[in-house]
Amino acid sequence: MPDWKLKTPVAFIIFNRPDTTKRVFDAIRKAKPPKLFIIADGPRKDYPEDKEKCKAARKIAEKVDWDCKVMKNYSSKNLGCAKRVSSGMDWVFSKVEEAIILEDDCLPDKTFFRFCEELLEKYKGNEKIMLISGQNSQFGRKRGEFSYYFSRCFHCWGWATWKRAWKTFDFSMKKWPKFRDSKKLSRMFKRRNAVNWWNKIFERTYKGYDDSWAYRWTLELFIRKGLSIFPNTNLISNIGFCWNANHTKNIEDPHANMPFNAISFPLKHPTAVKRNVKADDFEEKRMFSTGFIERNKRRAGRILRNLISGKKGKELRIAWLIQPGSRMFSRIGGLVYWEHFLREFQKSFLHTRFYSVGKVHPYYKKRFNASSVGSCYRLILKNKKEGYKQGMSIVSPAIVAKLLSFNPKVVFSASFSLWTLFATLSKPIGKWKLIVLFEGSSPSVDYRNSALRTSIRKFIAKRANAFITNSKKGVDYLEKHLGIPKKKIFRVVHEIPEAKNFAAKKANMGKSPRFLFVGHLIQRKGVNYLLDAWSEFQKASGNGSLCIIGDGIEKKRLMQKARKLKLRDVYFAGRVDYNSISQFYNSSDVFVFPSLEETWGVAPLEAMAFGKPVICSIHAGAAELVEIGKNGFLFEPRKTKKLAELMLKFADSPELIIKFGKKSGNIMKNYTPANAVAGFSRVIKGVLK
């Protein structure tokens, strides 16, 4: 190839992935096309990070340092995959007769460009041939003795075509209804599953559910009985498989990061332009006929291969088993304060998959690589009125098969749940590192008096690689009660709010100083004692108002008690959506948290993040972040007179509200999702050594 020089224009389609864009652009730079068309989509409205990512990708694609005419077609708004690619190709072919096309995740072998250029010239007059692709999906199977073969399929990962072929593209798919009703697909494919697959895909695309330009052109290929050219060795590796990709989400897909090889020149051309039936039949069976039995056969085969090889792959795959029973991914707002931390974690560890019971809400499907595994039944063994309910969550053991199929290097699991036990028992088979997240210690959840629970926890403790907890109390329990070595325990405060993501609105909360409580209205939260303290506060001529946010089985009884005690300026605001709660924090002066038992407790930290003083129960794990006499006070909730005295301090000395509030804000600057992820990263690196 030393004497060969590329003459064909290249179209480069980019979006918001500077990392893959750079790798593909470096391959284009080596080929030195005389013309480079850069087609870029704009940032999406609901993804603030897109703006910088799109800008970075464009900057990379513009670093042309060879003799080349660069033409740019950038969209300021997000058009989506189908419209952006098709409109970009319309623009390219309004200027040239033929082009080689690469998307920002399609990494080519250096021989790909010559392969395309020679065949563009050879078949430019043959209208039967509609495109040339660099992708080969035969997984090592050679189709004939020639350098390439013909197919009715279309693969869009690195391809080339002519203006005369592209002009047949029809975005509206107006021919689909007639083609569908003709039943021609049934005659094209042997297998019913394949017919159903294509019917479903075309129908969804026609109705606008699938944002794909490729399916639209595939339909045109089928209708015209056109042919594609595929090399007999793979020339393209799709390096973009990731949970947040538009289409290539499944990193377990055998097409992900396929190796490529150089093709030999001179090319050996087929003697006749004839479709390779064996190659098409293989693709029909492998790619488009995946019924239930076939899917599970493949999953079983993948698990078996993983077990036999023991290989984990180059990428760092992390499985995260969400607390069973929490249903955090099942409804919008279910993740609450976890959302910012998990999004930050996912940015740092792209190949993370979250497993949760219950259906994953579409909102979270778009934002997280989350899978549902069965359902959960909560078995209550003991109902402690002023503490946590004691029991266990019964969950599906199918999580083991999911983990073995995904083949992670690291598994995070919540506390000492059944899923944690399953992950521990299957650890010798899956050969993953297990990190257990232990929120914090409290009497009801420690089960110190249960010999069975303690023995199970010690069994897990011996086999897990590390433990992460929010609190010092958590560290103490893990070390002293379960006997876990200090070197395996890490205190990383990770259940934290992100106040900067909340709106700056304010709510009408009554007269100053405004005291605020946020939480479930259940006995464990201690609001009953807060009302007694408020009564003492008012008897001592304390002025101010108390706003109680939350709902629960105790709400009616608490409201009745407030009336019975003839309490003034007490407002029950009811349940407030998590994304709207900021207006109450903004409007309040002092936050009160009278919980009787709390392994951690994020509400006081939310108040601190908003720059508010806090009066916090000594029974909350988060009390460890309160600096007594500097940004707040600690108290025993049942000692209501003491709580009243602490509230009076702020009523009598309003300057403390400003002074303590400023300190709260400064404390919380050290506790951010980014810092928490950095802490998790250190633990991951440690267990992988």
The lowest-confidence range among 369-373, 391-395, 424-428 is 391-395
Question: Tokens at residue 468, please?
Answer: 């992460």
Q: Is the pLDDT of residue 514 over 50?
A: yes
Angle at 464 between CA 461 and CA 467, to 5 degrees: 80
The lowest-confidence range among 390-399, 598-607, 618-627 is 390-399
In the chain, % helix, strand, coil (3-state, to 5) comes to: 40, 20, 40
Q: Is the pLDDT of residue 251 over 70?
A: no
Its sign, for the CA torsion 164, 170, 174, 178, is positive
DSSP 587-618: H-SEEEE--S-BSS-SHHHHHHHTT--EEEET
For residue 499, give every residue at least 6 positions away whose Cβ sits within 8 Å of its Cβ, in sequence order, or none. 582, 585, 606, 609, 610, 668
**CA distances in angstroms from 405 to 20, 288, 375, 442, listed in the order given:** 26, 21, 20, 36
Number of residues that this document lists for the chain:
689
Angle at 131 between CA 125 and CA 136, to 5 degrees: 135
CA distance 231 to 414: 48
DSSP letter assigned to residue 318: E
Beta bridge partners of 582: none
Q: Are 267 and 118 in contact (CB under 8 A)?
A: yes
> Residue 162: which pLDDT band, with cuts at 50, 70 and 90?
very high
The lowest-confidence range among 136-140, 233-237, 358-362, 382-386 is 382-386
> Residue 315: which pLDDT band, with cuts at 50, 70 and 90?
confident
DSSP 200-251: HHHHHHHTT-S--SHHHHHHHHHHHT-EEEEESS--EEE---STTSSS---T
* Orientation angle between helical segments 338-348 and 673-688, nearest 10 degrees: 50
pLDDT in tens, 172-189: 999 999 999 999 999 999
Chain mean position to CA 585: 29
Nearest to 232, CA basis, from 257, 269, 258: 269
Q: Is the pLDDT of residue 246 over 90?
A: no
Give the mean pLDDT of the chain.
91
Q: What percent of the chain has pLDDT over 90?
A: 74
CA distance 17 to 628: 47
**What pLDDT, on the 0 to 100 scale, is given for residue 307?**
52
pLDDT in tens, 567-576: 999 999 999 8
Q: Is the pLDDT of residue 360 over 60?
A: yes
**What pLDDT, on the 0 to 100 scale, is given for residue 314?**
61
Nearest to 589, CA basis, from 653, 540, 645: 653
The lowest-confidence range among 153-162, 311-320, 420-429, 452-461 is 311-320
CA distance 262 to 237: 12
**What pLDDT, on the 0 to 100 scale, is given for residue 292?**
47
Q: Are 414 and 321 in contact (CB under 8 A)?
A: yes
Q: Are 281 and 134 in contact (CB under 8 A)?
A: no
Q: What percent of the chain has pLDDT over 70?
A: 92
| Neighbouring C-beta atoms of residue 557, cutoff 10 Å | 13
| Phi then psi dihedrals of residue 389, to 5 deg | -70, 135
Q: Is the pLDDT of residue 290 over 60?
A: no
Domains of the chain: 10-287 (3.90.550.10), 318-496+677-688 (3.40.50.2000), 500-668 (3.40.50.2000)
Chain mean position to CA 499: 21
The lowest-confidence range among 45-49, 165-169, 662-666 is 45-49
Q: Are 585 and 516 in contact (CB under 8 A)?
A: yes
3-state secondary structure of 276: coil
**What pLDDT, on the 0 to 100 scale, is given for residue 689?**
87
Q: Is the pLDDT of residue 530 over 80?
A: yes
Name the helix (H) or strand (E) containing 634: strand 632-635
Side-chain half-sphere exposure of 210, counting CA atoms within 13 A: 17
CA distance 442 to 593: 16
Q: Which stretches within 225-287 are classed as H helix?
A: 277-287
> Residue 289: which pLDDT band, with cuts at 50, 70 and 90?
low
Kindly report the pTM of this predicted structure.
0.72
> Residue 256: which pLDDT band, with cuts at 50, 70 and 90?
confident
CA distance 383 to 206: 54
CA distance 525 to 592: 11
> Residue 503: which pLDDT band, with cuts at 50, 70 and 90?
low
Nearest to 684, CA basis, from 249, 319, 307: 319
Q: Are 626 and 614 in contact (CB under 8 A)?
A: yes
Angle at 458 between CA 457 and CA 464, to 5 degrees: 85
| Neighbouring C-beta atoms of residue 6, cutoff 10 Å | 17
